[in-house]
Amino acid sequence: MAVQHDDAASFPGLVDLAAEKFGGVALEASDEFFAGKENLLKPGRGVFIPDKFTDRGKWMDGWETRRKRTPGHDWCVIRLGMPGVVRGLDIDTNHFLGNHPPYASVEGIRLGEGEDESELAGRDGWQQVLPRSPLAPGSQNMFPSYSDGSFTHLKLNIFPAGGVARFRVYGEVTPQLPDHGQEQIDLVALANGGQAVACSDMFFSPMENLIMPGRAENMGQGWESRRRRGPGYDWVILEMTRPGLIDEIEVDTNHFKGNYPDRCSIEALHAPGEPVDLLNWADYDWTTVMDEQKLSAHERHFFDDEIVEEGPFSHVKLNIFPDGGVSRLRVNGRIA
């Protein structure tokens, strides 16, 4: 049964694999008469404008099919922005009250790189991610997923028809990585399977933003701690996708102008598989990778000659002195 929640806090530490901002795309749908499938992956929960209509009926901020007068059900195929293992689903029927689907299910499939996506819905090979489950109207319908498969595409089935405002797919990224030492990658990038595991403070914006794809569009898309009124400094710990050798570090203070850190340093350790988190991070012997370096406002800083230890390492710790905001951290290197 679905559990109702106000937000996505039920799946902490997981990323929305299908988000439009990560490259998620609604590829095809059985029907989108009243509202287009692309709305499913947009940010927010959708809005309702009482007096807005189209030549087909009421305008709705979501995906809505016509009333079904024949056997069968409607569906939508989605290419995930990042392939991964699905751990949780949010089928949000916000503002869909007398026209929501009573039931939904989800299936998944993994395609090889460059494999043809056309007419994907009718192919063999789809695996169950969520069995047919009841939906409540006007609600975030949250479901855990116990499938261990890694998928590139999902199919949202609604029974028999109706409207869904947003579709969120919370999971763990499982990228296709190069062999060890073959090419340089960002070892902590979310898209490559990196994770933010602990930090001293994230009052203004979350630590996960540091490893998001692309450059931040505004200050809220970085990691920012509150103003420090006592001694000490702020820090964040990131787990690499796999243990690697560090060649270059980028610290981007994009959009942080009056609130960027004065300095930063990098430490690292080799503890693959260890639970390095907020509770036990101080128990490890951290190696200095880069001594304190001066930072500037609203600028990309690249460091290579400043790196004094290349590893291999499994975790890195960005220290900022004394506090402030960083837009992105890139740790470019090779899989060890």
Do 194 and 111 fall into the same domain?
Answer: no
pTM: 0.81
- The rounded distance, in Å, linking the Cα atoms of 223 and 260 is 10
Q: What is the dihedral of CA 184, 187, 192, 195, to 10 degrees?
A: 180
Domain contains 179: no
Please, are residues 286 and 249 in contact by the beta-carbon 8 Å criterion? no
Domain contains 308: yes
pLDDT recorded at residue 241: 93
Do 151 and 255 fall into the same domain?
Answer: no
Report the CATH number at residue 60. Answer: 2.60.120.260
Q: Which DSSP string do the residues of 199-232 spell out, in sequence order?
A: ES--SSB-GGGGG-SS--SSGGGSEEPPPP-SS-
Do 193 and 160 fall into the same domain?
Answer: no
pLDDT recorded at residue 7: 45
Domain contains 122: yes
Do 157 and 234 fall into the same domain?
Answer: no
Do 281 and 321 fall into the same domain?
Answer: yes
Do 18 and 138 fall into the same domain?
Answer: yes
* Chain Cα centroid distance, residue 32: 26
Number of domains observed in the structure of the chain? 2
Do 126 and 25 fall into the same domain?
Answer: yes
Tell me the pLDDT of the chain (336 aa) as tens digits: 343 333 445 687 788 999 998 999 999 999 999 999 999 999 999 999 999 999 999 999 999 999 999 999 999 999 999 999 999 999 999 999 999 999 999 999 999 888 899 889 999 999 999 999 999 999 999 999 989 999 999 999 999 999 999 999 999 998 877 776 678 999 999 999 999 999 999 999 999 999 999 999 999 999 999 999 999 999 999 999 999 999 999 999 999 999 999 999 999 999 998 888 887 898 999 999 999 999 999 999 999 999 999 989 999 999 999 999 999 999 999 998
pLDDT recorded at residue 112: 87
pLDDT recorded at residue 324: 98
pLDDT recorded at residue 180: 67
pLDDT recorded at residue 303: 98
Q: 53 CB contacts (<8 Å, ≥6 apart)?
A: 59
Domain contains 180: no
The boundaries of the domain holding residue 253 are 185-335
